[in-house]
Amino acid sequence: MPSESAATGAVHRLGELLGAEVVLPDGTKAGQVHDVRLAGGPGLQDYVVDGFVVRARGEGAFLGYDRRAVLGPWLLRALVRAANRDARYVRWRAVRRIDWEAKLVVVERLDPLEDERAPA
Amino acid sequence: MKRIFAVALGILTAIGGFVDIGDLVTNALVGSRFGMSLAWVVVVGVVGICVFSEMSGRVAAVSGRATFDLVRERLGPRVGLANLVASMGVTFLTFIAEIGGVALSLEIATSVNELLWVPVVAALLWIVLWRVRFAVLENVFGLLGLSLVVFAVALWQLSPDWGGLWQQVTSPSPPSGESWTQYSYYAVALFGAALTPYEVFFFSSGGVEERWTAKDVATMRLNVFLGFPLGGALSLTIAAVAAVVFLPAGVQVEALVQVALPVALALGKIGLVIALIGFFAATFGAACETGLSVGYSIAQFYGWRWGKFVPPRQAARFHLVVLLCTVLAVPVLLTTVDPIAVTEYSVVFSALALPLTYLPILVIANDPDYMGKRVNGRLANALGTVYLVVIVVASVAAIPLMILTKGGQ
Amino acid sequence: MTSLRATYDAGLHLLDRQIVDPDDAPVANVDDLELRERADGRLAVSALLTGPGALGPRTGGRLGSWMVAIWRRLRPDADPQPGRIEARLVTHTDSAVHVSARARDLRVDGFEQWARATVIDKIPGAGRAE
Amino acid sequence: MRVRAALAGGLALAALAGCATPEGNPAAYREEALSTLKAAHSAVEWVHITVGARLDDKMFGRSADDSVSSAEESLSGAAGTFVGLQPPPGADEVRDTATKLLSAAQDAVEDARIAVRRDDRDAMRKAYDAVGKASQALDHADEELP
């Protein structure tokens, strides 16, 4: 059970996850939740949280350049990519616990961030 | 034939619609103080509005999303909200200036004080925004605005020393008696007058309402690439007649009637009448555009239904905002604030607010998710990047220059 | 017509997007997403949330709190909830999020109704289309 | 111009700490006088052009009236701000010269406005010459100011 809340059916907001502190089990700070990746289907109601895009500094990364291969103009992409080099990904199975009150996500490990897959 | 007519109409209204109170006042003022030595800024500004409008027009046509719709998607709610407040503030300020400009045009024609005209103009404006069709609004005021071509005729009639004027154009530095800081301040003001955010909000929202598709991109480009530069040329003639008549006489332009004075000198009463019709059409048309643009930006930010194509009751919040704006503008003008001063500030604040609107459009125009194959090409991106730098520089410089020059005094 | 993406980076692809109905009429923006814990512990998307009650907390800071506070004051109910559109109503996404229900049936536009009833409908010509 | 004056006033206050003020420094006071006279020259020349255009029947009476009245307002605004300044010791001569030039200009502009509003061509012609003289005097202010 990756969640603290015992009762299933508990309702949350995605916005509560954005900016949440990400820590390793030993308490080391790993960054902040920058985006939440959803996967599943066929309907939107069947999409579940697949993992978190984590950055050392949650704010400031923007514009969608951070996770896309082909985007111009060159100058902007280079600047934003440079600022986003620290982005990592936490898979759902690496999430140990979410503390919604404290806006804290405890994770076991962080993986490299892959560019998101193309639309189906 | 019908298509050629439609294209021609689009270009003509783009010319007439380009000039507003900010262009009238800033160009005449700059012409009277700096001659044609700042003409290059108008050129830079016009190319900028072409680059920006082409991108946002293409984004509107391909993705069906208007400019402010996209601002929040790329900047997030916090920065997006800051941008909304700034852009709405500038557009509202411009709206006030335009209404003041209409009232001043009527004052010049009737010598009835502008303050008495303000409530009349506001009421008329609101009725037009409520009842008159979008296309009528755009075409009537755009075409009437073309009467400002009288400035070009006046320039020719004044038979100026063309070599001297060209000399001013090619020596981009302040004339004697003016400092570099003043020169730079008015460079920013002219840039802001040519590249006003509301023009892009209005242009792209109109495109969405008219349901442009990728097929309409070619027509849209024709309008932009022919209409706006010709509109820019028109504003240069306004600066030029002021440079011919006022610069040697040491007169600084500070009232709307002065903008028309050179036309009267050159062409007499007939010229004056045509110029005043042009003033009225340009400012009234721009008042419509700015009033709607305040509504567009807030409605698009919050995802409300907006626009002139649906009955008002189906876009109730949008029409409520437009109504409130019109009502609020009246007491502001009745404080006897000088509309010309409001105009001068509005163009500088336009330059200040621009980057946060420009950046998301530049990014989205590159995003295949929105644009498919219609993403920016190399030229659009090269120019887009150059202008990103120019727009940021103008924005950063605006306030320090305003303080250093005490608002251009 | 594209349907749904294989994956969504929710902040990038869903939040702050325009929601439109089958007539392409704007309904609201996606101000937040509602997540529900499933029996297997996974967090599933259950609804799109709209209005200041959803946007305020995301805006954060004093401004966000004000947004929520004003919204609460203006709502008639004691414990107002943000507008809610069931996730299963989403048919596809492109530059907008398309839903299968009409704007007027979704009941997420209290302010629109208020503005219509209190001001706009009282002005002659409110129902006239172009 | 009122808002601009107010804002400029505010900004000037903010800048007070750093620089000499016209009220405490004779050189700064002279500068202030010169810039006021330059603004006055602009307004007077504006009236001159307008009355000339009206005499040549290139403008309507109402528009000419509006133009002259706007110029008059601008002139009295500039003059009023200067007259309200406290002259620093040793600047009385500057003040006297400038004030004389300003009130001569204001008188000429006032006569022009009256003539234009009455549509009295003889008076307009006289006012045209008087305004021209006032404009010339203001144009040479730098040499006249002590």
Strand segments, DSSP code E, in B285-346 are: none
pLDDT tens track for D63-81: 999 999 999 999 999 999 9
Contacts of C55 in chain B (CB under 8 A): 77, 302
- Return the percentage of chain B with pLDDT > 90, whole number: 78
Q: How far apart are CA B409 and CA D10, in angstroms?
A: 13
3-state secondary structure of B84: helix
**Structural domains present in chain B:** 22-404 (1.20.1740.10)
Distance in angstroms (rounded) separating the CA atoms of residues C12 and A18: 12
Instruction: State the Cα–Cα distance between residues B331 and B320, nearest whole angstrom.
Output: 18
Unique residue bearing structure tokens 């040519």: B194
Closest CB from C6, C33, C42 relative to A119: C6
The sign of the CA dihedral D54, D59, D65, D70 is negative
* Any B CB within 8 A of A69 CB: no
- What average pLDDT does range B135-148 have in this prediction? 89
> CA C49 from chain center: how many Å?
5
Contact C4 A120 (CB under 8 A): yes
**pLDDT at position A7 over 50:** no
Binned at pLDDT 50, 70 and 90, residue A6 comes out as: very low
Whole-number Cα distances in Å, B267 to B154, B245, B262: 6, 13, 8
Element (DSSP H or E) covering residue A33: strand A29-40
Apex CA B280: angle with CA B34 and CA B409, to 5°? 30
Rounded to an integer, what distance in angstroms lies between the CA atom of residue B384 and that of residue B145? 29
- What pLDDT, on the 0 to 100 scale, is given for residue D43? 96
Mutate to test the interface with A, among B367, B376, B389, B391 (most CBs of A within 10 A): B367
CATH 1.20.120 fits D2-144, yes or no: yes
Q: Which chains touch C (3 or more CB pairs under 8 A)?
A: A, B
Smallest Cα distance from A72 to chain B, Å: 6
Identify the pLDDT of residue A88. Answer: 87
Summarize pLDDT for D7-53 with one digit per residue, the tens: 555 555 544 444 457 777 888 889 899 999 999 999 999 999 999 99
Do residues B354 and B404 touch, judged by C-beta distance below 8 A? no
| Mean pLDDT in residue range B233-237 | 95
SS3 assignment, position A30:
strand
Average pLDDT over residues B381-388: 94
Residue B196's Cβ-count burial label (10 Å; 0-12, 13-18, 19+) is: buried
Task: Give tens-digit pLDDT for B330-353.
Answer: 999 999 999 999 999 999 999 999
Name residues whose C-beta falls within 8 Å of residue C71's C-beta, 6 or more positions apart in sequence: C51, C52, C53, C56, C80
CATH number for A14-112 (one of 3.30.420.40, 1.10.240.10, 2.30.30.240, 3.30.499.10): it is 2.30.30.240
Question: What residues of chain C lie within 8 A of the CB of A11, using their CB?
Answer: 34-37, 46
Segment D97-104 shows an average pLDDT of 94
- On chain B, the residues whose CB falls within 8 A of the CB of C93 are none
Report how far residue B374's alpha carbon sits from residue A101's, in angstroms, rounded to the nearest whole number. 45
In the prediction, which pLDDT does C130 show? 60
B353-371 exposure pattern, b = at least 16 Cβ within 10 A, e = fewer:
bbbbbbbbbbbbbbbebbb
pLDDT tens digits for range B63-109: 999 998 898 888 888 888 999 999 999 999 999 999 999 999 999 99
B272–D contact, CB cutoff 8 A:
yes
Residue type at B191 in one-letter notation: F
Domain residue extents for chain D: 2-144
Q: How far apart are CA A81 and CA A87, in angstroms?
A: 10
Contact B41, B250 (CB under 8 A): no
Instruction: Note the pLDDT of residue A82.
Output: 72
- Which 3 state secondary structure label does DSSP give C44? strand
pLDDT of residue B127: 94
Count of C-beta atoms within a 10 Å radius of residue B225: 15
**pLDDT grade, residue A2 (50/70/90)?**
very low
H helices of D18-140, in order, are 26-55, 61-83, 92-118, 121-139
Query: Does C76 sit behind a cis peptide bond, omega within 30 degrees of 0 on the bond before it?
Result: no
Identity at C106, one-letter amino acid code: L
* All structural domains of chain A with their residue ranges: 14-112
Q: Under an 8 A CB cutoff, do D63 and B252 touch?
A: no
Residue B242 with chain D: CB contacts under 8 Å: none
pLDDT tier, A115 (very low <50, low <70, confident <90, very high otherwise): low
The pLDDT of residue A4 is above 50: no
Q: Is the pLDDT score of B42 beyond 90?
A: yes
Q: In whole angstroms, what separates CA D12 from the centre of its chain?
A: 21
DSSP structural state of residue B303: T
Residues 6+ apart with CB under 8 A from D106: D72, D75, D76, D79
State CA C24 to chain mean position distance.
Answer: 15
CA B407 to chain centre: 20
Is A3 strand, coil or helix? strand
This prediction has a pTM of 0.92
The residues with which C85 forms a beta bridge, in sequence order, are C48
Burial B118-132 (b: 16+ CB within 10 A, else e): beebbeebbebbbee
Given a contact cutoff of 8 angstroms between Cβ atoms, the answer to whether B21 and B285 are in contact is no
What is the rounded radius of gyration, in angstroms, for the C-alpha atoms of chain B?
Answer: 20
A104 bridge partner residues: A21, A99
Query: C77 or B324: which carries more pLDDT confidence?
Result: B324
How confident is the model over B121-137, as a mean pLDDT?
91
Q: Mean pLDDT throughout A90-99? A: 93
Question: Which CATH fold topology does C10-122 show?
Answer: SH3 type barrels. (2.30.30)
Residue C33 contacts A where some CB pair is shorter than 8 Å: yes
| Binary contact (C125, B319; C-beta < 8 A) | no
CA distance B283 to B103: 9
Of B359, B367, B388, the CB nearest to A71: B367
- Residue B200 · residue B357 · CB < 8 Å: yes
Whether the pLDDT of residue B294 is over 90: the answer is yes
Instruction: Tell me the pLDDT of chain B averaged across its residues.
Output: 93
* A14 inside 8 A of chain B by CB: no
Q: Is the pLDDT of residue A75 over 80?
A: no
Distances (CA, A) of B188 to B182, B276, B403, C50: 10, 27, 13, 40
From chain A, pick out residues whose CB is under 8 angstroms from the CB of B75. Answer: 62
Res D80: pLDDT: 92
Q: Which amino acid is at B390?
A: V
**Residue D17 confidence (pLDDT):** 41
Angle between helices B339-353 and B21-34 (to 10 degrees): 100
Residue A1 has pLDDT above 80, yes or no: no
Q: What is the mean pLDDT of residues C22-45?
A: 93
Interchain CB contact of A79 with B (< 8 Å): no
User: How far is the C-alpha of B51 from the C-alpha of D74, rounded, in Å?
Assistant: 40
For the cut 80, the answer to whether the pLDDT of residue B140 exceeds it is: yes
pLDDT in tens, A17-52: 998 999 999 989 999 998 999 998 789 999 999 999
Give just the sign of the alpha carbon dihedral B273, B275, B278, B282: negative
- pLDDT exceeds 80 at position D55: yes
Cβ-based neighbours of D75, under 8 Å, separated by 6 or more = D39, D40, D43, D44, D105, D106, D109
Judged on CB neighbours under 10 Å (0-12, 13-18, 19+), A39 is: middle
Q: Look up residue B324 and give its two tokens.
A: 């409130």
CB atoms within 10 A of CB D114: 14
Main-chain dihedrals φ then ψ at residue A57, nearest 5 degrees: -120, 120
Is the minimum CB–CB distance between B336 and chain D shorter than 8 Å? Answer: yes
Q: Which of B301, B299, B291 is nearest to B83 (CA)?
A: B301
Q: Which 8-state DSSP code applies to residue D114? A: H
Q: Do the Cβ atoms of B336 and D46 come within 8 Å?
A: no
pLDDT greater than 60 at residue A67? no
Q: For residue B342, which of B356, B332, B357 has the smallest C-alpha distance?
A: B332
**Chain A residues with CB-CB distance to B370 below 8 A:** none
Residue D9: its pLDDT value, please? 55
DSSP 8-state secondary structure symbol assigned to residue C88 = G
Alpha-carbon distance of B368 to A104, in angstroms, equals 34
C108 touches A at CB < 8 Å: no
Distance CA C127, CA B316 (A): 10
DSSP for residue A118: P
Peptide bond into A42 cis (omega under 30): yes
A44 touches chain B (CB under 8 A): no
Tell me which residue in B111, B267, B345 faces D65 most closely, judged by beta carbons: B111
Cβ-based neighbours of C121, under 8 Å, separated by 6 or more: B313, B316, C127
The residue of B179, B251, B337, B343 whose CB has the most chain D CBs within 10 angstroms, and thus the best one to mutate to test that interface, is B251
> Cβ–Cβ of C4/A15 closer than 8 Å?
no
Amino acid sitting at position B165: L
Contact state of D49 with B251 under an 8 Å Cβ cutoff: yes
> Considering just the CA atoms, what is the radius of gyration of chain C in Å?
16
Rounded to a whole number of angstroms, the distance from the CA of D92 to the nearest CA of chain B is 25
Mean pLDDT of B231-254: 96
What's the whole-number mean pLDDT along residues B1-19? 83
Q: Is C50 helix (H, G, I), strand (E, B) or coil?
A: strand
List the single residue in A8, A39, A67 with the smallest CB-CB distance to C39.
A8
Which stretch of A69-78, B34-43, B56-65, B105-114 has the lowest confidence by average pLDDT?
A69-78
